[in-house]
Amino acid sequence: MSRLLLLVLLLGHLLATPPAHAHALSPALLQIEALSTTHYQILWRHDLRSRLPPPGWPTDCEARTPIQTQQGSALDLSFELHCERSLAGRRLEFTGLAQARTTVVMTYQPPDGSRQQALISAGQSSHVLPDERPRRPIWQQYLQLGAEHIAQGADHLLLVLGLFLLARGSRQLLVAISAFTLGHSLSLILATWGRLSTPSAGVEFAIALTLLYLAWEMTRQGQPARLRWPLMSAFGLIHGLGFAGALGQIRLPEEQLLSALLSFNLGIEAGQLGFVLLLALLFGLLRRLQSETAQRLSQQICIYLIGSLACFWLIERGLAGLSGLV
């Protein structure tokens, strides 16, 4: 029994990241356009909530007073940068990425007019601007970003956990997960292309409601779970809007949009599939090691985990939404 509780509590610890960061990772955007070999136009866009300072430039560079604009929660700083020599091959410093749990999407246009793209992850504190085209394609970087995003999306992982425990057999689980994936892929596409726009506070509140509903379904002992594909697709649409904020927030340039969207979504699906396989291994091990009573206890613990966090998020996000209206 102690091993069972240890494994379930460990799972809860991994999922129960700080609630304010349940769907974190709205990337910042850095655009560097060379007007000459030493003169640059800079755009720094970030979420106001992250409070990220602009990059630290080389000591021989001087930034002019920025022009500041705001759209929603996105803050733009636009300014010119003058350096004594070219930025190519030189290091930029980034502070606060780890604390904000975010990534920087960087576009660098050198004097020859080519365009180079890179992602600076939350674990990096600096980045060297390339003096040649990077070897790693940008789609691979967005694939990694999608996988990292779902790994930090506790509310999304909790819903996948609920679906895994509710499904009666692999066929029902496959149908539920596929419908959920279809829904959030569709909303990600529509929201990123500007065809669908919903207030962030409302989306986060609705995500918490889906978790509460799932926890309620798990309490209906002896009754078949209602995991019909239209409902799961609707849940996917709601969760996809939460993911869409990560890319739509920074308003990527059109030439980056398709590759970013597809790769980011594939990264989400890969992370989701990996989590399902991890659950299958974990609960398969529990079934071998523990009695039927212990297995029921593990499910009860998961119900309380999902339900209590859903209630917490409902209160937190509801209050945040009300404060935004005042």
Q: List the structure tokens of 53.
A: 């300072």
Q: Look at residues 203, 179, 176 and name the one whose alpha carbon lies nearest to residue 191.
A: 203
Lowest mean pLDDT among 45-54, 132-141, 299-308: 132-141
Answer yes or no: are the C-beta atoms of 87 and 104 closer than 8 Å. no
- CA distances 170 to 11, 117, 163, 176, Å, are 21, 40, 11, 10
List Cβ neighbours of 95 (8 Å cut-off, separation of 6 or more): 52, 53, 56, 125
Q: What pLDDT score was predicted for residue 99?
A: 78
Lowest mean pLDDT among 66-75, 130-139, 305-314: 130-139
User: How far apart are the C-alpha atoms of 145 and 249, rounded to whole Å?
Assistant: 15
> Which amino acid appears at position 255 of this protein?
E
> What's the whole-number mean pLDDT along residues 105-126?
82
For residue 236, pLDDT over 50 is answered with yes
Q: What pLDDT score was predicted for residue 17?
A: 44
Q: Is the pTM of this model over 0.75?
A: no
For residue 246, pLDDT over 70 is answered with no
For residue 70, pLDDT over 70 is answered with yes
> What's the whole-number mean pLDDT along residues 114-122?
79
User: How far apart are the C-alpha atoms of 91 and 64, rounded to whole Å?
Assistant: 20
Indicate the length of the chain as a whole number.
326
* Residue 56 per-residue DSSP state: B
Instruction: Report the chain's mean pLDDT, rounded to a whole number.
Output: 78
Q: State the CB neighbour count (10 A cutoff) for residue 84.
A: 10
List Cβ neighbours of 42 (8 Å cut-off, separation of 6 or more): 30, 31, 32, 33, 54, 63, 77, 78, 79, 80, 81
